[in-house]
Amino acid sequence: MFQILSMLLLETQLYVVSALFTVEVPQQLYVVECGSNVTMECRFPVNGSLNLQLLTVIWEQKRQGQSKSKEVYTLRNGKAFPPSQHRNYTGRAALLHSELKQGRAILQITSVKITDAGSYLCLIDYQGVDYKYITLEVKASYKRINTQVMRKPAEDKFVFTCQSEGFPLAEVFWQNEKNFNLSGSVNTTYTVTTDGLYNVTSILTFKPNVSENYSCVFWNKELNEETSARISTLALMSTQYSGQKSLILFVIPMCVMVAVLPSALIIFHKRKSFKNGQPKKDRKRKLNPNLKDENRDDFNSQTEALYLSTVTASRESGSVGL
Ligand SMILES: *[C@@H]1O[C@H](CO)[C@@H](O)[C@H](O)[C@H]1NC(C)=O
Ligand SMILES: *[C@@H]1O[C@H](CO)[C@@H](O)[C@H](O)[C@H]1NC(C)=O
Ligand SMILES: *[C@@H]1O[C@H](CO)[C@@H](O)[C@H](O)[C@H]1NC(C)=O
Ligand SMILES: *[C@@H]1O[C@H](CO)[C@@H](O)[C@H](O)[C@H]1NC(C)=O
Ligand SMILES: *[C@@H]1O[C@H](CO)[C@@H](O)[C@H](O)[C@H]1NC(C)=O
Ligand SMILES: *[C@@H]1O[C@H](CO)[C@@H](O)[C@H](O)[C@H]1NC(C)=O
């Protein structure tokens, strides 16, 4: 339970005037989006001008299902008391001091986290002690959905991936535009991030109909909120292009090497012939047909490219050595 509470309750009994001193909350429940700021307010009576030295304000948080409370902010005799603040709140919790003279103890928490949710106790000691509870709920919509399309060439299937973070745990559905049943295997998994969010990844593996668009729907049951991302058939086209792109990426270095190798060889031979005084033209002719052989499949030309690049490298370092 709230540890400081019992201690101060004893103190309360000593105050005769305590019955007159009451803390009030204008709002009992706050619901905020993860990452935003929140200000929660408790009111206490101030007669005339505030005597800060007599004021103690304690804000504590207790999460559902946890027995220990965390100290969020403490003002003791008018001074901030940071040593006892829980590390979860360092740099994020503040008491709006300018509001105190109006009898408002306003706690501000910036960039609210899922773990900030829970029950907040505000205890105020100002010639009398009283406290109230405030509930903070934190929600996180599955706002940004990352999509990815991959191709499984061996099975002629596509792999659609949707990934997003939010809270509470969402269910994921896959749809196309006409009928809602998609045949294919869906695998939805999740991890929990350090901030307490659910990182949900859903993978659909199937053979798509290229004339239809597909979408994944993240359904946040508790917030009754739905977000979705559409995978247009254009994305399918682009993966087919990306297959060609990688081919282009491979062809360009090949062309460069085809262009560089003969000139490197020419330089090499010129140096050699300069040293030996005897050009070796048949060797050059032996290498060139290999380079022009374009009837090989990708696998072979790739190994060839590796082979050629090593050859080029060793030859170049060789010529440096000379
Ligand atoms: C939250 O408060 C911080 C500090 O006062 C401020 O810099 C930031 O812009 C606020 N964020 C939002 C979303 O209001
Ligand atoms: C407020 O303060 C004045 C004088 O400072 C005093 O006469 C009065 O009784 C106080 N009222 C309360 C409710 O404490
Ligand atoms: C779903 O994916 C997870 C992680 O990628 C994997 O461990 C699990 O075996 C998969 N389940 C099925 C039914 O494919
Ligand atoms: C969420 O999961 C995906 C894939 O499992 C990973 O790439 C990503 O980094 C994760 N994001 C966070 C914030 O943990
Ligand atoms: C693909 O979609 C088109 C247009 O909606 C439809 O006519 C066709 O039958 C579909 N093909 C398959 C295999 O579902
Ligand atoms: C799929 O989406 C793309 C772009 O979002 C759109 O141009 C296209 O018409 C859609 N296709 C169908 C069959 O609705």
Q: Which residues contact 284 (CB under 8 A, 6 or more apart)?
A: 262, 265, 266, 269
Q: What is the reported pLDDT for 195?
A: 84
Minimal-distance CA residue to ligand 3 atom 8: 187
Contacts 24+ apart (CB under 8 A), 21-24: 21/45, 21/126, 21/127, 21/128, 21/129, 21/130, 22/130, 23/122, 23/123, 23/124, 23/130, 23/131, 23/132, 24/132
The more confidently predicted of residues 66 and 200 is 200
Q: What is the reported pLDDT for 262?
A: 46
Minimal-distance CA residue to ligand 1 atom 6: 110
* Alpha-carbon span 165 to 190, nearest angstrom: 9
Backbone Cα Rg of the chain: 35
Q: How does pLDDT run across 39-92, given as a tens digit for each residue?
A: 999 999 998 899 999 999 999 999 988 889 999 999 999 999 888 899 999 999
* Alpha-carbon span 260 to 312, nearest angstrom: 9
The more confidently predicted of residues 307 and 120 is 120
Minimal-distance CA residue to ligand 2 atom 13: 47
Q: What 8-state DSSP symbol labels residue 315?
A: H
Sheet hosting strand 104-109, strand order edge to edge: 38-43, 104-109, 93-95
Helix, strand, coil % (nearest 5) of the chain?
35, 35, 30
Angle (deg, nearest 10), helices 233-276 and 281-292? 170
**Whether the Cβ atoms of residue 94 and residue 128 lie closer than 8 Å to each other:** no
Minimal-distance CA residue to ligand 2 atom 3: 47
Determine whether the shortest distance from the Cβ of 211 to ligand 5 is under 6 A.
yes
Using a 6 Å CB cutoff, which residues line ligand 3?
A: 187, 189
Q: What is the reported pLDDT for 213?
A: 87
Domain 3-139 fold: Immunoglobulin-like (2.60.40)
| Token pair belonging to 98 | 């300018």
Average pLDDT, the chain: 75
Q: How many residues does the chain have?
A: 322
Q: What is the reported pLDDT for 237?
A: 65
Atom of ligand 5 nearest to the CA of 210: 1
**Whether the Cβ atoms of residue 201 and residue 190 lie closer than 8 Å to each other:** yes
**Whether the Cβ atoms of residue 131 and residue 223 lie closer than 8 Å to each other:** no
Q: What is the reported pLDDT for 29?
A: 96
Query: What is the number of the ligand closest to the CA of 127?
Result: 2
* Alpha-carbon span 46 to 104, nearest angstrom: 9
Angle (deg, nearest 10), helices 298-321 and 233-276? 40
| Token pair belonging to 187 | 């695998």
Decide if domain 146-231 falls under CATH 3.40.50.300: no
One fold for both 3-139 and 146-231?
Answer: yes
- Range from 35-39, 201-205, 318-322 carrying the lowest mean pLDDT: 318-322
Determine whether the shortest distance from the Cβ of 49 to ligand 2 is under 6 A.
no
The more confidently predicted of residues 243 and 278 is 278
* Alpha-carbon span 251 to 29, nearest angstrom: 63
Determine whether the shortest distance from the Cβ of 178 to ligand 6 is under 6 A.
no
Using the mean position of ligand 5's atoms as its centre, give its distance from the Cα of residue 208 in Å: 10
Determine whether the shortest distance from the Cβ of 188 to ligand 4 is under 6 A.
no
Determine whether the shortest distance from the Cβ of 312 to ligand 6 is under 6 A.
no
Residue written as token pair 């503040």: 94
* Alpha-carbon span 234 to 105, nearest angstrom: 55
Using the mean position of ligand 2's atoms as its centre, give its distance from the Cα of residue 20 in Å: 12
Q: How does pLDDT run across 128-140, given as a tens digit for each residue?
A: 999 999 999 999 9
With a threshold of 0.75, does the pTM exceed it?
Answer: no
Helix (H, G, I), strand (E, B) or coil at 35: coil
Annotated domain spans of the chain: 3-139, 146-231, 239-304
Minimal-distance CA residue to ligand 2 atom 14: 47
- Give alpha helix (H) positions in the chain: 3-14, 233-276, 281-292, 298-321
Confidence check: pLDDT of 121 > 90: yes
* Alpha-carbon span 308 to 255, nearest angstrom: 12
